[in-house]
């Protein structure tokens, strides 16, 4: 029998956010709701109680351990949905169907190379793929696709960039978001990689949202909390926002291990401040 998921202790209030700055709330897993100088962006939206295979209008797969910090109905209409890759816990059909049906033709979507076909039948304002080293401008925001160390297939047997299938394989992105001189990195899903070091030459990253969970035993594709801090430091980030933990049971580490390990290693990376610690909290930049 499914155990009732935990209710977050915090609830974002997006209607109260100022459009003059940047507000970022952790909705759960890798879902971040952002107001970036008046533009609403949501990353990898996973809003319902289960993730997995969509069948006859239902989702078959794991249950959430912690509820989303906002109900789907309370998510404001995003201007942009930013998708890192096609894994079912990041490109969730139930959530994307809900958002597209609630606001048909109003939302622009950015996703990784060879992943758009998963959601191309939904009614978007636009749906664009961006590959490593490419950029897309949406109004005042710039999105640069960054390489990470992960894998791309949605179901076993699909072409995958991680297998060397560069032209046909499903890819996987992090993103650098630039707006009014501010820089935000959405790290997507990644093992430790030195690729973020290239961002240090920009002169500083204001916020790095980095995954910290499911590293045991998946260390080859998911970084540890201290590696997330290290990558944040190497890119020159002032603030680090943890994600990809405390939501689903994906690794074999204990439910609270990732945040505890993050806190334990924070003193080693004193130049990087952690902007929040709990699902539902909001960081104001």
- 3-class SS of residue 260: helix
Instruction: Let me know if domain 18-276 sits in CATH 3.90.1010.10.
Output: no
| Each residue's pLDDT tens digit, 199-215 | 999 999 999 999 999 99
Report CA torsion sign: 91, 95, 101, 104: negative
- With residue 265 as reference, give the H or E element that holds it: helix 257-265
pLDDT computed for residue 243 by the predictor: 98
pLDDT computed for residue 58 by the predictor: 82
Q: In the predicted model, is pLDDT for residue 2 greater than 70?
A: no
> Where along the chain do its domains lie?
18-276
* Exposure letters 16-52 (e unless 16+ CB within 10 A, then b): ebeeeebbbbbbbbbbbbbbbeebbbbbbbbbbebbb
Q: In the predicted model, is pLDDT for residue 55 greater than 90?
A: no
**Mean pLDDT over the full length of the chain:** 96
Q: Is the pTM of the predicted complex or chain greater than 0.75? A: yes
Predicted confidence band at 110 (pLDDT cuts at 50, 70, 90)?
A: very high
Question: In angstroms, rounded to a whole number, what is the distance separating the alpha carbons of residues 94 and 59?
Answer: 7
Question: In angstroms, rounded to a whole number, what is the distance separating the alpha carbons of residues 42 and 142?
Answer: 15
How many CA atoms are closer than 13 Å to the CA of 151, on its beta-carbon side?
A: 15
Predicted confidence band at 53 (pLDDT cuts at 50, 70, 90)?
A: confident
CB 108 within 8 A of CB 116: no
């Amino acid at each position: 029998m499914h155990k009732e998921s935990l209710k977050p202790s915090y609830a974002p209030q997006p209607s109260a956010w100022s459009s003059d700055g940047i507000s970022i709330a952790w909705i759960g897993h890798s879902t971040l709701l952002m107001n970036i100088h008046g533009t609403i962006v949501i990353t990898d939206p996973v809003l319902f109680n289960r993730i997995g295979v969509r069948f006859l209008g239902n989702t078959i797969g794991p249950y959430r351990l912690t509820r989303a910090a906002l109900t789907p109905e309370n998510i404001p209409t995003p201007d942009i949905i930013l998708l890192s890759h096609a894994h079912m816990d990041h490109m969730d059909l139930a959530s994307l169907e809900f958002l597209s049906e609630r606001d048909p033709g109003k939302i622009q979507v950015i996703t990784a190379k060879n992943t758009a076909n998963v959601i191309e039948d939904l009614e978007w304002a636009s749906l664009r793929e961006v590959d490593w080293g490419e950029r897309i401008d949406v109004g005042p925001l710039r999105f640069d696709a960054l390489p990470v160390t992960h894998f791309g297939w949605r179901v076993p047997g699909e072409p995958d960039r991680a297998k060397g299938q560069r032209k046909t394989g499903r890819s996987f992105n992090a993103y650098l978001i630039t707006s009014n001189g501010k820089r935000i990195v959405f790290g997507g899903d990644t093992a430790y990689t030195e690729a973020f070091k290239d961002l240090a030459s920009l002169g500083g990253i204001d916020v790095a949202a980095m995954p910290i969970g499911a590293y045991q035993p998946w260390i080859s594709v998911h970084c540890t909390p201290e590696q997330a801090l290290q990558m944040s430091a190497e890119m020159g980030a002032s603030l680090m926002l943890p994600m990809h933990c405390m939501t689903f049971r994906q690794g074999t580490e204990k439910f609270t291990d990732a945040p505890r390990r993050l806190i334990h290693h924070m003193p080693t990376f004193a130049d990087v401040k952690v902007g929040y610690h709990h699902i539902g909290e909001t960081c104001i930049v």
